[in-house]
Amino acid sequence: MYTVCLPEEIWMIVFKYLSKSDWLKIRSCCKCFKRLIDHPSLWRSEFIVLRKLRSFNDGFWKTLRRRTQANVRVVNVNGRHWDIIVKNLPWLKAVIIEFTDGRTVDSDVLANLNRLTKLKMLVIQSFDHAGLVKKLPSMSQLEHLSFCLLPSSIGPNLLEILSQLSNLTSLHYHEGRSHTPKHIFHAMLNGLPKLRNLSIRWCFNNSWCVPLPDDYFGYAGTALDSSGRGDFALTSLELLNYTDPLLSPVALDHLPLLEKLTVNYHRGATHRNTCHLKGWLRSLSHLTELAVNYSQPLGVYADTLPTTLRKLSLSGTWAEPEDLVTVKRTVPDLLHLNYSPFVYNPHNFSEIPKAFNKLQSLQIRYHGLCAKDLAGLGGMQHLKRLVITAAPADHSAISSELLTQVQMLRAHGVQVVLTQGGSDEEQFFICHPC
């Protein structure tokens, strides 16, 4: 009975520091904890996975209703199952639909979505044929839309649907068997006046040999206003499965207000003598975040990094110590660094405390890390957070010397997180692989 000695508000704060698996264990302790764990405030931003709906009884749905569950990831369900979901959770705000059994979304599922009047985010894994797009309901309240498009003839139909989504601020447009022609792409984006975040994924095939037009992103025909912004102003762009020379060196000149850029190169398809990223960076004077995965060596484009950068992520990229010195010279005020190279180099790591003494957060890979490396971080006065990530297949134990250095960093006020697989946060990645 000592649990009631603390105010419920304190318990709620404590629970927010625990994982969802811990919540379920605590929930079974007593009626008091069961009621607190089911409080809607704990589940407001949490996704739950719904699959095999036949095994869910009335008590399960009653629990979800009590939590006012607003975010669901639905796996391998049909139209009849969707009817049950919508009846029990009509207030859903975020829905992710995926199939792991080879099936694709059907028209019955799409018809039920129109009943979710509060839906803000919709993620659909794939379509079976272009005609299904016409059956997508009109949901003008949507703010985020993400899907993988398989048919090559889907463009015109998609354009008709997107023209109704005037409140869309984020679009993940993952291509199918061929690239969307420029005139359809421009018409699609011009119909989305509030769009700020765009993610594009291309299919790797023979069409990569044909570069897209220089003005592929030149869809914004409105002049900028006095504040430097116009009606069409992307602030975040993500290019997935990319390789040069699909986009020209001047392709991003049409997006001068870009603040965040992510480029995930197609592994094994990088052209050794071509790096258009170097040209893109020269025109992005507002860029504050850059993430580059599996690119050419850092030295190829390090001297063109914008001075406005505050967050830099480098994964699977070859770098020499002198490249990090170049980054320090071009980006003197870098605050956040994620450094996960192909091959661990102790000389590179020892350069980080000297080159980036203003860092507030640092994320690094565990493989090859030693206690001496961490000891060098002790002199970084502004470092507040250190994330050490182990690869999913790396099951080697962390040495006692390394753990000792971790404890010393924590004693100096640094939050040290040891995690597996690339992220220390439980979240669902809404960019589905096609």
Contacts of residue 430, defined as CB under 8 A and 6 or more positions apart, other chains included, come to 96, 121, 123, 144, 146, 172
- Higher pLDDT among residues 342 and 421, named by residue: 342
User: Do residues 158 and 181 make contact, with C-beta atoms less than 8 angstroms apart?
Assistant: no
Chain mean pLDDT for the chain: 80
- Write the pLDDT tens digit of every residue in 242-280: 888 888 899 999 888 899 999 999 876 555 667 899 999
- Chain position carrying tokens 């095999």: 52
19 is written with which tokens? 């994982």
The SS3 assignment for 88 reads: helix
**pLDDT over 70 (residue 305):** yes
372 is written with which tokens? 């001496």
> In CATH, what class is 253-359?
alpha beta
pLDDT value of residue 264: 92
pLDDT band at 69 (very low <50, low <70, confident <90, very high): very high
pLDDT value of residue 7: 83
pLDDT value of residue 136: 65
332 is written with which tokens? 């003197």
Residue type (1 letter), 380: M
26 is written with which tokens? 């605590």
Contacts of residue 227, defined as CB under 8 A and 6 or more positions apart, other chains included, come to none
389 is written with which tokens? 């990530």
Q: How far apart are alpha carbons 224 and 229 in whole angstroms?
A: 5
**pLDDT over 80 (residue 434):** no
Mean predicted confidence (pLDDT) in 155-184? 77
Q: How far apart are alpha carbons 269 and 294 in whole angstroms?
A: 10
Q: How far apart are alpha carbons 161 and 229 in whole angstroms?
A: 27
pLDDT value of residue 378: 78
3-class SS shares of the chain: helix, strand, coil, % to 5: 35, 20, 50
CA 239 to chain centre: 12
R_g (Cα) of the chain, nearest Å: 24
pLDDT value of residue 51: 85
pLDDT band at 151 (very low <50, low <70, confident <90, very high): low
Contacts of residue 301, defined as CB under 8 A and 6 or more positions apart, other chains included, come to 275, 277, 278, 281, 295
Mean predicted confidence (pLDDT) in 55-61? 86
Mean predicted confidence (pLDDT) in 354-358? 87
Q: How far apart are alpha carbons 327 and 434 in whole angstroms?
A: 34
Give whole-number Cα distances, 274 to 210, 248, 317, 424, in Å. 15, 10, 15, 34
- Write the pLDDT tens digit of every residue in 189-211: 888 889 999 998 876 654 455 78
Give whole-number Cα distances, 182 to 126, 214, 331, in Å. 22, 10, 35
pLDDT band at 376 (very low <50, low <70, confident <90, very high): confident
pLDDT value of residue 237: 96
- Higher pLDDT among residues 363 and 370, named by residue: 363
pLDDT band at 165 (very low <50, low <70, confident <90, very high): confident
Q: How far apart are alpha carbons 74 and 56 in whole angstroms?
A: 13
pLDDT band at 128 (very low <50, low <70, confident <90, very high): low
87 is written with which tokens? 């009846």
Closest CA relative to residue 319, chosen from 344, 293, 299, 291? 299
pLDDT value of residue 228: 43
pLDDT value of residue 226: 41
Q: Which of 65-69, 201-205, 419-423 has the lowest mean pLDDT?
A: 419-423
398 is written with which tokens? 């962390």
Where do runs of H (alpha helix) occur along 207-314?
277-282
- Percent of the chain whose pLDDT exceeds 90: 25
Domain spans of the chain, in order of start: 253-359, 365-422
Closest CA relative to residue 153, chosen from 129, 123, 135? 129
**pLDDT over 80 (residue 105):** no
Mean predicted confidence (pLDDT) in 151-174? 74
- Write the pLDDT tens digit of every residue in 88-100: 999 999 999 887 7
CA 376 to chain centre: 31
- Percent of the chain whose pLDDT exceeds 70: 78
Q: How far apart are alpha carbons 198 and 397 in whole angstroms?
A: 40
- Higher pLDDT among residues 342 and 65, named by residue: 65
Q: Which of 212-221, 239-248, 359-368, 408-417 has the lowest mean pLDDT?
A: 212-221
Query: What pTM was computed for the model?
Result: 0.83
Mean predicted confidence (pLDDT) in 315-336? 91
**pLDDT over 50 (residue 73):** yes
pLDDT band at 104 (very low <50, low <70, confident <90, very high): low
pLDDT value of residue 261: 97
Q: How far apart are alpha carbons 151 and 130 in whole angstroms?
A: 6
